[in-house]
Structure 1
Amino acid sequence: MASRSGDEGGGSGELREMRFLTVAEVAQIMRVSKMTVYRLVHSGELPAVRVGRSFRVPEQAVHRYIRDSYSGTA
C-alpha cells in the first residue's frame, strides 16, 4: 500500500487540509435555518462547491463570514 505522506497529486497541501461542511452543519454553527444558508450561498455571500445536488461550504469561509459580519458593541 502506498504512503499518503508525499505530494502524490501534485496539488497544494492547502487543498488537502481544507475541510468542507454541509449546509446543515453551517446552519448549526451559525444558529440559523438551512434556508438562510442556501440564501447566503446563492447570493454569493458565502462561497460553496456543488457536489451532486448538494453544496459544501469551506469551513474557513464560514468563520470568515462570521468574523466579517460581526458588529461588536463598545
Structure 2
Amino acid sequence: MKSNYEILTANDIADILRVSLPTAYTVMERTDFPLIRIGRSKRVLRHEFYNWLNSMSNI
C-alpha cells in the first residue's frame, strides 16, 4: 500500500534549510513545529513542514 504522505527526517530538514543537523534538530523542537515522534525518531509530514515554513515567512 502506497502512502500519499511524504515524511521528512531531520537530515531532510537540514538539507532543505541548508543548516547543520544539530540546528535542524533545534528547529524541530520548537513548540510550533509540526513534529511527529515515533519512538525516539522525529519526523514531519512534507506538506505540514512547508505550511509551517510559509507561516514563518509571514512573521
Give the alignment's TM-score, normalised by structure 2: 0.70
- Structure 1: stretches of 5+ with no match in the other structure: 5-15
Deviations along 1:27-63, whole A, 9 cap, x unmatched? Answer: 1011122222222222222111122322111111221
Q: Which one-letter code corresponds to 2:30 in the other structure?
A: S
The higher-RCO structure (CA 8 Å, 6+ apart) is 2
Q: State how far apart, in whole Å, the 1-side matches of 2:12 and 2:26 are.
A: 15
Q: State how far apart, in whole Å, the 1-side matches of 2:49 and 2:19 are.
A: 13
**% of aligned pairs identical?**
28
Q: Which residue pairs with 2:36 in the alignment?
A: 49
- Structure 2: stretches of 5+ with no match in the other structure: none
Choose 19-28 or 52-61, whichever is displaced more.
Answer: 52-61
Q: Which one-letter code corresponds to 1:44 in the other structure?
A: T
RMSD: 1.9
Choose 33-42 or 21-30, whichever is displaced more.
Answer: 33-42
Could you tell me whether the CA contact under 8 Å between 2:10 and 2:21 is conserved in 1?
Answer: yes
Q: CA deviation at 1:23?
A: 0.4
Larger radius of gyration: 1
